[in-house]
Structure 1
Amino acid sequence: MLRPLFGGRARRRWIHLILGGALAMPYVLVGSVFIGPFTGVDNVFGSLPLQLGSFALGLPVAAVTSLFPLTRPLESTAVRALCGIDGDALAHGPARTPAERARTAAWFTLHLGLGGIISGMSLSVPPAAATLIVLPLLAALGHPLGLPVLDHGWMLALDPVAGLAGLVALAACAAGCGALLARWAPALLGPTPQDRLAAAEARAADLAVRNRLARELHDSVGHALSAVTLQASAARRLLGTDPEFVREALAAIEETTRRTVGELDAVLGVLRDGDAPGTAPAPTLAGDLDGLLRRTRAAGQCVTATVDTDPAALPPLVSREAYRIVQEGLSNALKHSGAPVAVRIATADGHLEISVENPLGRAAAPRPGGGHGLRGIADRVRLLGGTAEAGPSGDTWRVAVRLPLKAT
């Protein structure tokens, strides 16, 4: 029951309020400079009403000084550390627009106002409460300190209760003010809806880039490793019986690895330099379809290809994504079946049609972190506004894709 008043979060918020009271002291002194001559009183701090007047006069001055650029970052840092507010709910930089400056001024005034009140209570209530708590003991000792005590025993008995109630009331006021500040902090120190929208768009753009890089790495490196593995395995089996095949397999391994290193460097160049191009261009059907088929066949895989369109006439974006789709289809066939693979590429009704078929072979053993190839194909097709189907069709496994030639 006492945790909301004396728990760790309540204590940290109390400290935050006392910090606001400490920040308010210079403004109270500025206010006293004007209150003293106006009232004709030399000692302003000897009168509680004049102290409150100085405090009220200093708050507008605090609102003006809150326009200093570092005010919002410093206040946001204090709120994150002491009020338990998520950092994403608060702005990190200085206020730039008039609306942001107005909210910062409102927050700074609220923080110093409530902080000054709670700080004053924290200085005055505990000594008074302690005095009330020990009054019965002082009365029993014959008031050795000369403090005035009440003669009625029943009233003396209530003094400790009143002292404890004062301490609880102080804690309740501090907890309530701290909760109020914590509630208002995101509204006054947080980003605007436009800022949140811009941040969400930036995160979405970053995620899109990450997904694109993941697809490129999976398709290029994954296909290369699958092809090299099968090429090396076939070369090892035929090392003593077919030297010519072994020579071709080793040459294919060399070409595959060299080309993949270039593609990997291009992808890593995006990671290093934003969207700056790497040292190797992205492969396309027009540029490397024959090489892709040749390297796949060098692994011992029988691949037949029917191309009923001119790859050079395809839009560059469609040609690039189509290359990756064919590459992933061949990679699946290499990993999951040793049967012949049939690739067909054609255009019809303003679409590029791609199909990769192979007889159903042995089931591949699942591998940790694998199995993203078909999802990558689906992502590429969706981004181009096409359709994709993958799955068994009779005795064959078929990947069928339609891409609009005027992809957006």
Structure 2
Amino acid sequence: MRAFARPLFGRRARLRWIHLILGGALAMPYVFVGAVVVGPAAGGAHVFSSLALQLASFGVGLPLAALTSLFPLTRPLETAAVRWLCGVDADRLADGPARGRAAKGRTAAWFTLHLGLGGIIAGMSLAVPPFAAVLIVLPLAAGLWDTRLGLPEVFDHAWALALAPVAGAASLLALAGCAAGAGALLARRAPALLGPTPEDRLAAAEARAADLAVRNRLARELHDSVGHALSAVTLQASAARRVLDSDPGFVREALAAIEETTRRTVGELDAVLGVLRDGDAPGTAPAPTLAADLDGLLRRTRASGLKVSATLGTAPESLPPVLSREAYRIVQEGLSNALKHAGEGVTVTLRVEVRDGHLEITLTNPLAAAPGPRSAPRPGGGHGLRGVEDRARLLGGTTRAGPAEGIWRLHVRLPMRTAARPTARPKGPP
């Protein structure tokens, strides 16, 4: 018995019934407009006194409903109603207004179907229960039917009176069955008519790609900024510890470099984390560039005990901001790799110059003769060069890195024209 009643009166069936009644309520304004058209066409007859004229008004109003479904809010509202009342999975439905002719046509078809079936079920829900109640109690009030109810003459017969309650109960079951069937039909057609179109899937894919690009950029910023700072601070502290008694001046310089490195890194970290906090504005730490902080980067790196020889073939101030910022991160990562992997006492050579319309960055250092503390790999490392390659590729440049003739060489070539397209960079921290 429960298995029979659940499809007709279960929670899902009741919610779908409510959805249909909402469709009937939405259809009423269109029916009234249709009545204004049908009434004069029928010679001024009262539309709601005739079932045929009511159906005609309903038929005139449905095309009007299809036209108004083109409003942008129609699909989001219908999708929300279907998700909550029809039990359709959210991932099978499209979000946002309909885009393109195909999506608008499907929305119009759905809206017409919803209002059409909803109007029929809502009308039945208003008419059938009172009629069924009369039939159920008719045997108990048989003496009243001829004077007050005006029932057909068939109920003069005793067998008709005896079957009246059965007919009333059957009418209620038929109403529930029609409502359940119409609700199931709408739930089955909803993904096809309200589901994502190819345009919707493309827009969703673009949104996911943009989000992934932002996440990748945040990961690069964290790796380049925090990773370099931790490597530099570790080596600065190690160098200061080794000469603590013999060279107090170097120790003071190393401690000052540690303080400056950590202060700058905390500012950059706050800028990156500000993007990750919902509702929080990005931090206001200035974007590091070659023009703003190349000298400071070299000074802090040298305070770690690494010798750096830098040659600038162009003024950093002349570089476009986007190019200067990305070049700074590339130089920072190259120096960070040298800090971690170069041997003791080696000199890192940095050269930055403009040649043939490209900014060229070259870092070289002799290969370590034997593994030392700096050349020991750290767990989870090995992403620095990949980040350099990603930055260069986004700017349309190239990267070459590897050992050659006893030296390690990193060469990055960035086209100067990329600075004219700053909007190509995904939205993220500076």
| TM-score (structure 2 length as normaliser) | 0.66
Q: Per-residue CA shift, 1:237-277, capped at 9, x if unaligned?
A: 544443222212122223334544665677689999x9999
Q: Per-residue CA shift, 1:42-99, capped at 9, x if unaligned?
A: 6644533232122213324444555667555544443443343638954535x89998
**Among residues 305, 321, 324, which one is paired with 2:326 in the alignment?**
321
In 1, the alpha carbon distance for the partners of 2:233 and 2:133 equals: 83
Q: What residue identity is the alignment partner of 1:400?
A: L
Instruction: Look up the SS of the partner of 1:144 in the other structure.
Output: helix
Matched, 1:252 2:257: yes
2:81 is matched with: 78
In 2, the alpha carbon distance for the partners of 1:24 and 1:318 equals: 60
Gaps of 5+ in 1: none
Q: What residue identity is the alignment partner of 1:180?
A: R
1:387 is matched with: 399
Structure 1 residue 386, shift from structure 2 partner: 0.8
In 2, the alpha carbon distance for the partners of 1:172 and 1:265 equals: 57
Aligned 1:283-294 pairs, distance under 5 A: 283-284=289-290, 288-294=293-299
Between the two proteins, the alignment pairs up a number of residues equal to 386
Structure 1 residue 19, shift from structure 2 partner: 0.4
Following TM superposition, the consecutive aligned residue runs of length 4 or more in structure 1 with deviations greater than 6 angstroms are 1-7, 95-103, 126-132, 158-165, 265-272, 274-277, 347-350, 394-397
Aligned 1:178-217 pairs, distance under 5 A: 178-186=187-195, 193=199, 197=202, 200-201=205-206, 204-205=209-210, 207-217=212-222
Q: What residue identity is the alignment partner of 2:307?
A: V
In 2, the alpha carbon distance for the partners of 1:282 and 1:271 equals: 20
In 2, the alpha carbon distance for the partners of 1:50 and 1:287 equals: 80
In 2, the alpha carbon distance for the partners of 1:377 and 1:7 equals: 60
Point out the more displaced range, 318-327 or 375-384. 318-327
Matched, 1:366 2:379: yes
In 1, the alpha carbon distance for the partners of 2:404 and 2:80 equals: 64
Structure 1 residue 116, shift from structure 2 partner: 0.7
Instruction: Look up the SS of the partner of 1:400 in the other structure.
Output: strand
Point out the more displaced range, 310-319 or 218-227. 310-319
Matched, 1:177 2:177: no
Aligned 1:8-407 pairs, distance under 5 A: 11-36=14-39, 38-39=41-42, 44-63=47-66, 66=69, 71=74, 73-83=76-86, 84=88, 86=90, 89-90=93-94, 92=96, 106-123=109-126, 143-146=139-142, 148=155, 151=159, 166=174, 167-186=176-195, 193=199, 197=202, 200-201=205-206, 204-205=209-210, 207-236=212-241, 238-260=243-265, 280-284=286-290, 288-300=293-305, 302-305=306-309, 307=311, 310-312=313-315, 316=320, 320-335=325-340, 339-345=344-350, 352-355=361-364, 358-359=367-368, 360-361=371-372, 363-366=376-379, 372-383=383-394, 384-389=396-401, 398=408, 400-405=410-415
**Is the alpha carbon distance of 1:326 and 1:88 closer, same or farther for their aligned partners in structure 2, counting shifts above 3 Å?**
farther
In 2, the alpha carbon distance for the partners of 1:113 and 1:270 equals: 48
Q: What residue identity is the alignment partner of 1:377?
A: V
Instruction: Look up the SS of the partner of 1:403 in the other structure.
Output: strand
Task: Kindly indicate whether the alpha-carbon contact (under 8 Å) linking 1:17 and 1:116 is maintained by their aligned counterparts in 2.
Answer: yes
In 2, the alpha carbon distance for the partners of 1:12 and 1:106 equals: 22
Q: What residue identity is the alignment partner of 1:208?
A: A
| TM-score (structure 1 length as normaliser) | 0.69
In 2, the alpha carbon distance for the partners of 1:8 and 1:333 equals: 67
The root-mean-square deviation of aligned C-alpha atoms, in Å, is: 5.1
In 2, the alpha carbon distance for the partners of 1:212 and 1:49 equals: 66
Q: What residue identity is the alignment partner of 2:27?
A: A
Instruction: Look up the SS of the partner of 1:92 in the other structure.
Output: coil
In 2, the alpha carbon distance for the partners of 1:395 and 1:112 equals: 78
Q: What residue identity is the alignment partner of 2:221?
A: E
Instruction: Look up the SS of the partner of 2:413 in the other structure.
Output: strand
In 2, the alpha carbon distance for the partners of 1:77 and 1:275 equals: 30
**Is the alpha carbon distance of 1:319 and 1:109 closer, same or farther for their aligned partners in structure 2, counting shifts above 3 Å?**
closer
In 1, the alpha carbon distance for the partners of 2:134 and 2:51 equals: 21
Structure 1 residue 380, shift from structure 2 partner: 1.5
Q: What residue identity is the alignment partner of 2:111?
A: F
**Is the alpha carbon distance of 1:304 and 1:68 closer, same or farther for their aligned partners in structure 2, counting shifts above 3 Å?**
closer
In 2, the alpha carbon distance for the partners of 1:41 and 1:288 equals: 86
